Amino acid sequence: MPAPDFSPLARGYQALEWLAFGGDLERARFCLLERLAGRRSILILGEGDGRCVARLLPLVPGARIDCVDVSPGMVARTSSRLAPLPGREAVNLICADALTREFPPATYDAVVTLFFLDCFEPAPAAALVGRIKAATVPGACWLFADFRVPERGLPRLRARLWLAGLYAFFRWQTGLRPRALPPSEALIEQAGFRREESRTFQWGLLVSSLYAARGAPPSLQL
């Protein structure tokens, strides 16, 4: 089946986010971004409209960044956003499906997936996380932000209603197939990463976490 294409939403994506959640989606994306300072080889999956890599560039001078997104419209939007920025030549924009894209083994010391793994059903998400792990080096970190369903009460009910509406909208607009979140955080931990820091927004509906490869010396974990 064809991959979902977010191209029709590329120009208005930021406005849609603000209408739905104010600035909390951006806060979840970027609240831990500075923890990547000093990293040298970074893989960003599902970059979207370029806001992440644009903010990241000044934090990682000299780093090589591979940016993968399946939607041509989003890649074009990212390219336009990066065009006037110093360090643009360090970014390799790749229009490809992460499920079929070959990642070079043992290459990246940081991985970034911001509101990306929610686009996959559990089995493809598990396979993808395993392939991403194989592309990292010892001491790598993983910056993750996504939706989450709280464990109980009104926040849980609110999250389930929001997610049902969001999945229906993106299924209509982009062809996105999943109808529920995969167990992304558990999959990252099963791949050998340990959560070092985490923040939540919107009554727990949004989470941002930094993971470090287990067994890495403390100086390499963050």
Domain locations along the chain? 7-213
Q: Name which of 95, 100, 51 is nearest 71 in CA terms.
A: 95
∠91-144-146 over CA atoms, to 5°?
A: 115
How far is Cα 180 from Cα 20, in angstroms, rounded to an integer?
18
Q: Count Cβ neighbours within 10 Å for each residue of 113-152 and write b for 16 or more, e otherwise.
A: bbbbbbbbeeebbbebbebbbebbbebbbbbbbbbbbbee
Q: Count Cβ neighbours within 10 Å for each residue of 163-179 and write b for 16 or more, e otherwise.
A: beeebeebeeebebbbe
Residue recorded with tokens 């591979």: 66
Predicted local confidence at residue 98, as pLDDT: 96
pTM over cut 0.85: yes
Q: Name which of 113, 77, 111 is nearest 95 in CA terms.
A: 77
Average confidence (pLDDT) per 10 residues, the chain, 222 residues: 79 85 94 97 96 96 96 95 94 96 96 97 97 97 98 95 96 93 98 97 97 69 39
Predicted local confidence at residue 216, as pLDDT: 58
CATH 3.40.50.150, domain 7-213, yes or no: yes
Cα atoms in the 13 Å half-sphere on the side-chain side of 53: 36
Predicted local confidence at residue 219, as pLDDT: 44
Predicted local confidence at residue 214, as pLDDT: 83
Q: Which residues pair with 146 in a beta bridge?
A: 207
